[in-house]
Structure 1
Amino acid sequence: MSGLENPRRRQLLQTSVVAGGLAASGALLSVRCLAANRAAINMQLGWVPGGNQVGEVVARRLGYYEQEGIDFRIQAGGPNIDGVAIVASGRGEVGQISSSPSVMLAVSEGLPVKCFAVGLQQHPYAFFSLKKTPIRSPQDMIGKRIGIQATGLVLLKALMVRHRIAENQVNIVPIGADMTPLLSGRVDAVTGWQTNVSALKALGADRVDLSLWDSGVRLYALPYYAHTSTLRNHPEVLQRFLRATARGWLYANKNRDQAVDLLLKDYPSLNRVDERASIDSLMGYAFNKDSGTQGWGTMDPAVWQEQISLYAQLGQFRARPPKLEDVMTLDILQATKSSRLMV
């Protein structure tokens, strides 16, 4: 999974939303049109489902959604599927995307979506180097060759702005998603998610990590978002969804072996050894001191405002920067706090 969804898709979104305007009313009606006290939630992803959905898989397999009256389905994304456009046009009740900036960029383009919770308290995006040429701090990047995917370029630039590193001080090398350029010596660092155990195995014990979050670029990962009409007209449905989802993540955190077993029942092509190692890393990002006091899924408006201000500084908004209250809401979190706390 890359740092951000392809930003070129953003220019297609407004057209998609207009074309899907009538579909929006139909999708929102689906929240109301099941049997009494029941609702449909289609969670649209921006990628092919896998280990990042372990909490939802556990919640569905253990009947938590059923107990909340939710008919829950995960809808796969992929390279040619724009999940934000689907939710913004009303063809999905809830969406999840890899990184929080994708939500605020969509909102800045006038799309009617808003984040109401986040799956991971810190983004696991990092720069990976080897001990022979370690990059342990942003200043270590000066004079180095940094391999980067197109979708992650803005994250590198954000880090450089934070640490006042000029672009001509770093050799930026466009690469793909694998670790080969680092292992072959073509670059001094590559990027990826620290939770992607299967990809990182190739680097072995010589791996050196530089976390984006620890470098001062604080983003959220796996944000949950919904159409603003759903948030306005059906908050109780989103509350039920979030209660069940939180229970799934809390259970998965305490019962990791069983959680991986349930995950493989839904996605048998996954490698159990890799997923068992990955869940340990994943839960370290899903649960921290903030989730300990505020519950799984919590988020801080100050972190969101940091992102908006930083992306405005980088010139990432083609339109005006969005307002904080248009990007995120704490309403669903506040209504479900007791259900999201670890017990």
Structure 2
Amino acid sequence: MRTRSRRSLIAGAIISAVLAASLLSSGRVALGSSALNQRTHAHAHAAAMQHVFFILNWLPNVEFAGVWVAQRFGWFKQAGIDMKFESWSPAVHPETDVVSRGGNSFGFQSGAAIAIAAAQKVPIVALYTDTQKSVFGLTVLNKSGINKITDLRGKRIGYQSHEIYVPETMLSFAGLKPSDYKLVPVGFDISGLTAGQVDAWLTFQTNEPIALNMQGIGNHSFRAADYGFNFYDDVLLTTRSLVQKNPALVATVTKLVARGFKYAHSHPILAANLTVNNYFHASTAGPGITAAQNLRQQILELQKFKQFSADKKGRYTGLMKASVWKASINTLFKYGEIKRKPSVTAIFTNTFNPYVNGNYH
């Protein structure tokens, strides 16, 4: 009996083991199906995501804080957008690269470059601007004795060759003739100013003057916007083809970028930290730049942007005016940068801007 019982127990154990194995096997199949379903769902979700590509006209710093805020806060993902970007290099030209790349491509570029491309019949359209006033300016050292723009008479002015129309416009507005000063082609390294090679330097007011201040070098600037230079900078653009084929995507991207910049300008310290921690490390900023220095400069730059990005009511709407685009085009035509004037109404649109109807919340 014991043996039988033993055998019965063994048999029962074997049967139980077989049943357990069967159940476990079934369980594995079920688990496998679940995992497969999850993977299938993930692939389907990935396939449903719309891939959007941004082409930048500078390094990935706070100049594009609106994009970084939208990305890190998950707004793109929530909208079904997978965002990638390409940083600036000498070979990158957003105003033409968006067309050659095609697809869901967006870019950031100056209003001047956009107008020049449009004059050459490049099929692009401006959607939003982070600046209501140009951030260009002519910077001089405090020790130079140059206290007003007309003091630049007889002086050497450093400028980037592709932006000659900026100092020419400013100085003409101030009543100076080309024979009254000497334009000197320079690069982006402002050490030529501190070394005395030139007396003034064409700068981005949100960049080089801040760097000089951080080095303890006293300086002041004449803002281009105060001297007849009416241009937008940091303009979001895309192709006419995408506007026609997928206006819903264009509207979504424009909305998220606008929302991101509004948040960044309202929270510059947070947005600057987010930028340097994820996109613009000290190693990207330049050799010898510490993390603390990089963060400090990015905070100061984003705070400086406020005076250029806010409208007269202190809002960050990104809305554009035909009168500004017309003035920009006329300036480029006057100084020979374009041979034909593109249509003002064709070069930009506020249609996709979420604040176009005054709904600013």
Aligned to 1:3: none
Q: Which residue of 1 aligns with 2:323?
A: 302
In 2: Cα distance, 1:100 partner to 1:137 partner: 27
CA distance in 2, matches of 1:204, 1:302: 40
- Superposed, 1:312-323 pairs within 5 Å as 312-318=333-339, 320-323=340-343
Matched residue SS, 2:143: coil
For residues 237 and 161 of structure 1, the distance between their equivalents in structure 2, rounded to whole angstroms, comes to: 43
SS of 2:88 mapped into structure 1: coil
- Corresponding residue number in structure 1 for 2:356: 337
Q: 1:311 to 1:146 in 2, by over 3 A?
A: same
1:321 partner letter = K
Give the unaligned 5+ runs of structure 2: 1-44, 286-293
Q: Which residue of 2 aligns with 1:78?
A: 89
Mapped contact 1:159–1:215 kept (Cα < 8 A): yes
Residue 257 (structure 2) pairs with residue 237 (structure 1): no
2:60 matches 1:49: yes
Q: Which moved more, 1:301-310 or 1:263-272?
A: 263-272
Q: Does 1:249 align with 2:261?
A: yes
Question: Contact 1:246/1:339 (CA < 8 Å) preserved in 2?
Answer: no
Measured at CA, do residues 187 and 39 of structure 1 come closer, stay the same or move farther in structure 2, by a change above 3 Å?
Answer: same
What is the TM-score when the length of structure 2 is the normalising length? Answer: 0.77
2:300 corresponds to 1:277? yes
- Counterpart in 2 of 1:125? 136
- Structure 1 length-normalised TM: 0.81
The answer to whether structure 1 residue 175 and structure 2 residue 198 are counterparts is: no
Deviation at 1:200, TM superposition (A): 2.8
Match of 2:346 among 292, 310, 326: 326
- 2:251 corresponds to 1:220: no
Kindly state the Cα deviation for residue 252 of structure 1 after the two structures are TM-superposed.
1.8
Larger Rg: 2
Aligned residues between the structures: 305
Task: Give, in angstroms, the shift of residue 264 of structure 1.
Answer: 1.8
Matched, 1:264 2:283: no
Query: CA separation in 2, counterparts of 1:213 and 1:55?
Result: 23
Alpha-carbon spacing, 1:127–1:108, altered in 2? closer, same or farther (3 Å): same
- Match for 1:326: what amino acid? A
Residues 143-181 of structure 1: per-residue CA shift (max 9 Å, x gap): 111122212212112223334422111122222222222
Gapped regions of structure 1 (runs ≥ 5): 1-32
* Deviation of the 1:41 alpha carbon: 1.6
Cα offsets for 1:75-98 (capped at 9, x unmatched): 222111222222122435343344
Using the TM superposition, give the Cα deviation of residue 73 of structure 1 relative to its aligned residue in structure 2, in angstroms: 1.8
In the TM superposition, 1:123-202 aligns within 5 A as 123-196=134-207, 199-201=211-213
- Residue deviations 1:181-228 (CA, integer Å, cap 9, x gap): 222222211121111155333674621210001111111110111111
Compared CA separation, residues 73 and 332, structure 1 to 2 (3 A): same
The 3-state SS of whatever aligns with 2:296 is helix
